[in-house]
Amino acid sequence: MAGIIMSRVRRLPASVPVRALCALLLLACTTTATAQPTEGAPPADTRHVTAAGELTATYGSTDPGFFNYATYAYDPLRNVRLVLDASVRPAGRLELLAQVRTDGASQVRMAALYVRVRPWARRTIDLQVGRVPTAFGLFGRNGYGSDAPLIGRPLPYSYLLSLRRDALPATPADLWRMRGRGWLSSFPRGDTTADRGLPIVNADTWDTGAQLRVAGGRVDWTGAVTVGTLSSPQVRDDNGRRGVTTRLTVRATPGLTLGASAARGAWLSRDLADVLAPDEHADRFVQRAGGLDAELAFGRWMFRGEVLASQWDLPAFTGDAGRERVDAVAAWADGRVRLRPGLDAGVRLERLAFSEIAAAGATRPWEAGVTRVETGVAWSPLRHVRLKVAAQRNRRPEGGRVRHDTLLAAQVGVWF
């Protein structure tokens, strides 16, 4: 069943699922508007088709340093995003879920399309197949965008590094030259056209594969096998090696949740076969990542934080068989306080640091480190309306055309 679903999803042109979901959304709106549950009937399970959406409009300062630039070439601080979710339940334990996401007027894409199967009614065990939610990290799966008083995303889930899956540096100097240039990176091996680099974890795109979630009591475990990696989710496998992701969360107390995540997968494209050593293959170059996170809530306060590390294998700079390895470590923590009903304030502190590489008597970080502080206030004047104002201070002293910047942004969000 999984193979049939995946093969059909891969053959769909980009416009087909978007049109299909739009039609499904119209049907869902009609269904949910007219259905009247009978007294004593089960609530949500009686609806076979449901839909929801969220519209957010953000306007802020120009970002010449590209501190917030995203993988789909849009600026999150100047963007209008529409997210449409739909669910079809043809049977009690079978569900088809989809999401269409638009950024601006031209970025329209199918963000999610997968089947969820729940074999047992009394056990929380889900099998999901298709373009599935990210199983890694505190921010990756849910994003908690609407309930946080901040507008920017944590650095490891948004900031673009110079690394590219279709282009490679030939020397350490090639990496040093691109520090802080992930928004338009170029290397001499592979595709020499300047293009966007990769984040540590791509929060804009979900990967394609199969995911199993098992929950019971205070423990929740999720594992996934996908065709891509954290940095580079894919629709089709293009290097012959699957990625593996796992996450475990434990609700230690009613207000405290602890999490641990790990991931591993080949991240280079097989299009680089011509520039690799004769006995090397793209599937041997791996991204490894691990992270620890925590959430603590009590009274009017909520705190979240995460530390994660990632490592990428690169071909040896000499051109012979062998590997170089570059590392990144990210840490962020934020806090939110409810000042009064509907009014929240928050702050996030972040740091992104990188390992050093040596050549010709010099030792430098391979990428420019970034420090960020963001503060914001959010107000809900109506039940389904959220207004935000945020300020962000970025510092990147080791690279990039802009070494530091202060950015302001305002956002209006409506969900339905």
Q: What is the pLDDT of residue 72?
A: 76
Quick check: 259 pLDDT over 90?
A: yes
For range 276-283, the mean pLDDT: 86
**Contact present, 261 and 291 (Cβ < 8 Å):** yes
The residue behind tokens 């089947």 is: 115
Write the pLDDT tens digit of every residue in 358-377: 877 789 999 999 999 999 99
Quick check: 29 pLDDT over 80?
A: no
CA distances from 10 to 17, 95, 363 (A): 11, 19, 44
The ranges assigned to domains in the chain are 60-80+118-415
**Is 240 in a helix, a strand, or coil?**
coil
CA distances from 261 to 57, 167, 231, 257, 414 (A): 32, 28, 15, 13, 32
What is this structure's pTM? 0.84
* Phi-psi region at 170: left, alpha or beta (left = phi > 0; alpha = psi -120 to 50): alpha
pLDDT grade, residue 157 (50/70/90)? very high
Q: What is the pLDDT of residue 1?
A: 40
**What DSSP line would sit under 231-242, residue for residue?**
SS--SS-SSS--
Please determine, looking at this structure, whether the domain spanning 60-80+118-415 carries the CATH number 1.10.3470: no
Percent of the chain with pLDDT over 90: 65
**Contact present, 334 and 328 (Cβ < 8 Å):** no
Q: What residues contact 191, with CB distance under 8 A and at least 6 apart?
A: 164, 166, 167, 271
Write the pLDDT tens digit of every residue in 307-320: 999 999 999 887 66
Write the pLDDT tens digit of every residue in 206-247: 899 999 999 988 999 999 999 999 999 998 888 888 999 999
Give the Cα separation of 401 and 398 in Å (integer): 10
For range 271-300, the mean pLDDT: 92
Between residues 320 and 324, the one the model is more confident about: 324
**Contact present, 55 and 82 (Cβ < 8 Å):** yes
Write the pLDDT tens digit of every residue in 179-189: 999 999 999 99
Quick check: 63 pLDDT over 60?
A: yes
pLDDT grade, residue 345 (50/70/90)? very high
Quick check: 19 pLDDT over 70?
A: no
For range 32-42, the mean pLDDT: 36
Give the Cα separation of 290 and 220 in Å (integer): 17
**Contact present, 152 and 158 (Cβ < 8 Å):** yes
